[in-house]
Amino acid sequence: MTKTTVQDVSAGSTEPERLDAPRTVGGSRVFALLLVITGAAGVLASWVITLDKFKILEGKVSGKTFTPSCSINPVVSCGSVMESKQAAVFGFPNPMLGLVCYGIVICVGMSLLAHARFPRWYWLTFNFGTLFGVGFVTWLMTQSLYEINALCLWCCLAWVATITMFWHLTSFNIRNGFLPAPNGVKNFLAEFTWVLPVTHGGIIAMLILTRWGSQLWA
């Protein structure tokens, strides 16, 4: 008599990978850290501005005047920006939105550090969010320069963080084929992604210097 050995297939085998499963992509450690750092910078800026905004409101209620520490002169005046109508576009202080959005960026970066991988729709949705962020901070920048006539240093930190994460994320999506682009563009971004946020930031710095010049430190 022969013995037939029955093996537990479900315990020892793995489910075959679905051929129609969407491709998922993770990010490098450097890219993940960049998201964490820029997200943290945005959270820091949003947190400080939110606290100062509350202190300004408390001062008005108690009949006192609160001057934020970053209000250095008539041009570099965070208080003037915080009290403008542009500082609450959606009916609540803008930095409260930043606390949520920049927090999401940190979560994505931390997930990548834990070797998480995401499908195309996730990366494109994330990219669209940062595109909205860049558009929003660009509008706030023009309002600050030409309508409010004052500059908030913490706002500038948020601008830089948003611009940096947007360009690096866009480069990531192009290089991974999630956004269409010629091979020449992909090859350029593989080596020189840093040129884009630096150029963008340089243009903003030039506009600020052209607008105020020596008044910034007067």
CA gap 174, 148 in Å, rounded: 37
* Cβ neighbours around 57 below 10 Å, total: 14
DSSP 82-135: HTSGGGGTTSS-HHHHHHHHHHHHHHHHHHHHTT--EEHHHHHHHHHHHHHHHH
> What are the chain's domains?
25-213 (1.20.1440.130)
Q: What does pTM read for this prediction?
A: 0.87
Read off the pLDDT of residues 43-82 as tens digits, 9 standing for 90 and up: 999 999 999 999 998 988 888 888 898 899 999 999 999 9
Read off the pLDDT of residues 4-13 as tens digits, 9 standing for 90 and up: 433 433 344 4
CA gap 118, 87 in Å, rounded: 34
pLDDT at 65: 86
